[in-house]
Amino acid sequence: MKKIGLLFVLSILSITALSISSASAATVFTDITTTHRAYEEIYYLAEGDIPTSDKAYIFSPDAPMTRAHAAAMIGRSIQLSSKSNSNKFSDVPTSNFAYGYINEAVSRGIIFGYNNNTFKPNQTLTRGEMALLISRAFGYQSATTNDAANELMSKGISSGVGKGNFGTTQQMKRGDFAVFLARAINAEFRAGGIKETSSKMYVNVSASDSLNFRKGPGSGYNSTKKFFTGYPVDVYYSVGEWVYAKGDNQVGFFHKSYLSTDQPSIGSTDQYPKEPIDLELPPVKEPLNDILVIVDPGHGAHDPGARGYGFQEKNIVLDVSLRVKKYFQQTPIQVKLTRETDVFLSLDTRAAFASKYKANSFISVHANALNGSANGTETFYYAANNKNVDQSKALATYVHERMLEAWGLRDRGVKPGNYAVLRENTVPSALAEIGFIDNRTDNAYIASATRREQIAKAIFLGTLDYYYHYEKRPEVAALYTKFNTKPSIKHY
Ligand SMILES: [Zn+2]
């Protein structure tokens, strides 16, 4: 977790550097995807490393907002110190994650404790408390809960709960708190836009420097423009040491230290003040959505593949692959199938698919046949002269083990195989032979929709294991919880 003190130092250092600031390693939450009602606000806060949570990568928007989390998120928003020497409360030990923020916020009169030196850190915040907390933290001068509630409503930060009632005693959910906090920080999230009046100020840095104009109050936020000394800007309100301002027809945040009420004078130059420079923003990172998985149902159309007991491989593996797709669609991980209907694709086309879509891994789904006597599950990877041998073997192994766990058919092993879809592939790839379609035992599994759902889930979970263990993506942990399972044993 970043320390606010360090952020402050970085923000000062950053103005001397003309290079574009790198994207922050913002927190990501696997339970907040693009369709969530508070998606924009929560990820806006996350860019500034503002949200706190009890579980890594999980925001829990519907869980109650505790007083400790509220103090911490407010503290991070207005850049309070996370370290404090004054221990004011018997129920907030130094080991409490919000210890510094709570004590600092109390010192500044932003939040208060209860009798007998208690703070009740795990008590749920009410809407009334939220209104007062935001009002004090953002300097609204509201003395009472009613004043604070009215202030928030007039600014478009919060609406009432109906019939002119603010719902002062109602308990806050974490998602709602995040929405109100984002609106308090950045008026672009408010219904009516900026209600505050502005005052003119000027960028005041040395002639050789520039000032970053950021998307939020902190150096974790990307810079959208650079301003040069003497440039006039309209300042609306403060968020801790930062101000929300409009400059060059855009809104954003400046650090207060580099603005002055008088225009700084400067020796003669060709153009003073210099025009701001627009910066290109890196794409916003979401949890795991940088991963694209390709699922390749074997065969198709005039190529039925293996046959047995009235079943054709091409139909079975398409059904399984479509089920795998549905699992991935419940996650931020992107998924594409090489075919979704009964069409023929050449092996070259299949192998080129991953590189065409810049995918990250490839899994081909097949069923076997051999005169009815052979049975079991086997998984292949290409083991010769390929830069992805280790990755492919890991992917094959993780998928294979989940398939054995799901169906419990004979274990024919994880093996090197010289198949074109693997050999010609440019990404880690594996080929799963789920079972023998012409074997009585295996066919009973292949013929059952319930069983096909199980093997699809196994292929999905095996792929997750690969990303969790081999590609070291800890965000996957939350997906195991979602699908009521645990990571596999780590092999690679
Ligand atoms: Zn096949």
If asked whether residues 22 and 162 sit together in one domain, one would say yes
Domain assignment present for residue 474? The answer is yes
How many A from CA of 481 to the centre of ligand 1? 33
Mean pLDDT over residues 10-33, rounded? 47
Which residues touch 490 (CB under 8 Å, ≥6 apart)?
469
At 16, is the pLDDT very low, low, confident or very high (cuts 50, 70, 90)?
very low
How many A from CA of 389 to the centre of ligand 1? 22
pLDDT digits (tens, 9 = 90+) for 96-145: 999 999 999 999 999 999 988 999 999 999 999 999 999 999 999 898 99
Domain assignment present for residue 410? The answer is yes
Domain assignment present for residue 388? The answer is yes
pLDDT digits (tens, 9 = 90+) for 406-458: 999 999 999 999 999 999 999 999 999 999 999 999 999 999 999 999 999 99
How many A from CA of 308 to the centre of ligand 1? 13
pLDDT digits (tens, 9 = 90+) for 41-50: 999 999 899 9
If asked whether residues 160 and 215 sit together in one domain, one would say no
Maximum CA pair distance of the chain?
A: 92
Angle at 158 between CA 157 and CA 159, to 5 degrees: 135
How many A from CA of 220 to the centre of ligand 1? 50
How many A from CA of 445 to the centre of ligand 1? 17
Domain assignment present for residue 271? The answer is yes
Neighbours of 218 (CB within 10 A): 29
Would the pLDDT of 288 be above 70?
yes
If asked whether residues 86 and 207 sit together in one domain, one would say no
Which residues touch 225 (CB under 8 Å, ≥6 apart)?
212, 213, 247, 248, 250, 252, 276, 277, 278, 279
CA dist 452 and 490 (Å) reads 26
How many A from CA of 337 to the centre of ligand 1? 16
If asked whether residues 241 and 321 sit together in one domain, one would say no
- DSSP character string of 399-426: HHHHHHHHH---EEEEEE---HHHHT-S
Coil, helix or strand at residue 48: coil
How many A from CA of 380 to the centre of ligand 1? 12
Q: From 189, 209, 236, give the residue that closes a domain.
A: 189
Would the pLDDT of 219 be above 80?
yes
If asked whether residues 303 and 166 sit together in one domain, one would say no
How many A from CA of 339 to the centre of ligand 1? 14
Q: From 166, 189, 212, give the residue that closes a domain.
A: 189
How many A from CA of 154 to the centre of ligand 1? 65
How many A from CA of 313 to the centre of ligand 1? 7
If asked whether residues 301 and 367 sit together in one domain, one would say yes
How many A from CA of 334 to the centre of ligand 1? 25
How many A from CA of 434 to the centre of ligand 1? 10
If asked whether residues 224 and 184 sit together in one domain, one would say no
How many A from CA of 141 to the centre of ligand 1? 72
Q: Could you give the number of structural domains in the chain?
A: 3
How many A from CA of 398 to the centre of ligand 1? 20
pTM for the model stands at 0.66
CATH number of the domain enclosing 309: 3.40.630.40
How many A from CA of 299 to the centre of ligand 1? 6
Coil, helix or strand at residue 319: helix
Domain assignment present for residue 313? The answer is yes
CA dist 333 and 468 (Å) reads 12
How many A from CA of 372 to the centre of ligand 1? 15
Orientation angle between helical segments 127-137 and 67-77, nearest 10 degrees: 20
Orientation angle between helical segments 389-407 and 449-465, nearest 10 degrees: 140
If asked whether residues 381 and 306 sit together in one domain, one would say yes
For residue 39, the one-letter residue type is Y
**Segments forming the whole domain that contains residue 136:** 4-189
User: Exposed/middle/buried for 169, CB within 10 Å: 0-12, 13-18, 19+?
Assistant: exposed
Domain assignment present for residue 283? The answer is no
Closest CA to 454 of 392, 397, 391, 409: 409
If asked whether residues 235 and 296 sit together in one domain, one would say no
Angle at 458 between CA 457 and CA 462, to 5 degrees: 120
Domain assignment present for residue 25? The answer is yes
If asked whether residues 218 and 330 sit together in one domain, one would say no
- The values of phi and psi at residue 191, to 5°, are -60, -50
How many A from CA of 363 to the centre of ligand 1? 13
Coarse DSSP helix, strand, coil percentages of the chain, rounded to the nearest 5 percent: 35, 20, 45
CA dist 492 and 489 (Å) reads 9
How many A from CA of 462 to the centre of ligand 1? 20
How many A from CA of 335 to the centre of ligand 1? 21
If asked whether residues 216 and 97 sit together in one domain, one would say no
At 283, is the pLDDT very low, low, confident or very high (cuts 50, 70, 90)?
low
Looking up tokens 């059952």 gives: 448
How many A from CA of 431 to the centre of ligand 1? 9
Domain assignment present for residue 490? The answer is no
E strand or H helix that includes residue 10 = helix 4-14
| β-strand pairing of 277-278 with 311-312 | unpaired
At 6, is the pLDDT very low, low, confident or very high (cuts 50, 70, 90)?
very low
DSSP state for residue 88 in the 8-state scheme: -
Q: From 278, 300, 315, give the residue that closes a domain.
A: 278
If asked whether residues 155 and 51 sit together in one domain, one would say yes
Coil, helix or strand at residue 123: coil
How many A from CA of 404 to the centre of ligand 1? 19
